[in-house]
Amino acid sequence: MQHERCSFLGNVTLGSSISLAELRELYHVVVLAYGAESDRDLGIPGEGLSEIHSAREFVWWYNGHPDYNNLSPDLKSTDTAIILGQGNVALDCARILLRSTIELATTDIASHALAALNQSSIRKVYIVGRRGPVQAACTAKELREVLGIKDLCIHIKEVDLLKSSEDEEVLKNNRIQRRVYELLSKAVTSGRSHPSSGQRELHFVFFRQPTWFFDSGTGHVAGVHFEKTVLRGVGPGKRVAVGTGQFEDLDCGMVLKSIGYKSVPVDGLPLDHQKGVVANVGGRVLTDALGDQSFLEKGLYVCGWLKRGPTGIIATNLYCAEETVASISQDLEQGMLAAVTSLPKPGREGLLQLLDDRNVRVVPFSGWEKIDSEERRLGSLRNKPREKLTTWEDLLKVASE
- Stretch 272-285: mean pLDDT: 85
DSSP 8-state symbol, 77: S
CA dist., res. 40 & res. 46, Å (int): 15
pLDDT tens digits for 351-380? 999 999 999 999 999 999 999 999 999 999
- Give the pLDDT band (50/70/90) at residue 339: low
Across the chain, what does the average pLDDT equal?
90
pLDDT tens digits for 24-80? 999 999 999 988 776 678 888 999 999 999 999 999 999 999 999 899 999 999 999
More confident residue, 193 or 173: 173
| Residue spans of alpha helices (H) in 30-119 | 55-62, 88-98, 101-104, 111-118
CA dist., res. 57 & res. 65, Å (int): 9
- Give the pLDDT band (50/70/90) at residue 244: very high
Distances (CA, A) of 72 to 112, 202, 215, 263: 9, 23, 20, 25
Residues 366 and 47: beta-carbon distance below 8 Å: no
- Give the pLDDT band (50/70/90) at residue 109: very high
- Give the pLDDT band (50/70/90) at residue 194: low
What pTM was estimated for this model as a whole?
0.87
DSSP state string for 98-126: HS-HHHHTTTT--HHHHHHHHT----EEE
Residue 147 clears pLDDT 90, i.e. is over it: yes
- Stretch 275-280: mean pLDDT: 84
Residue 260 clears pLDDT 90, i.e. is over it: no
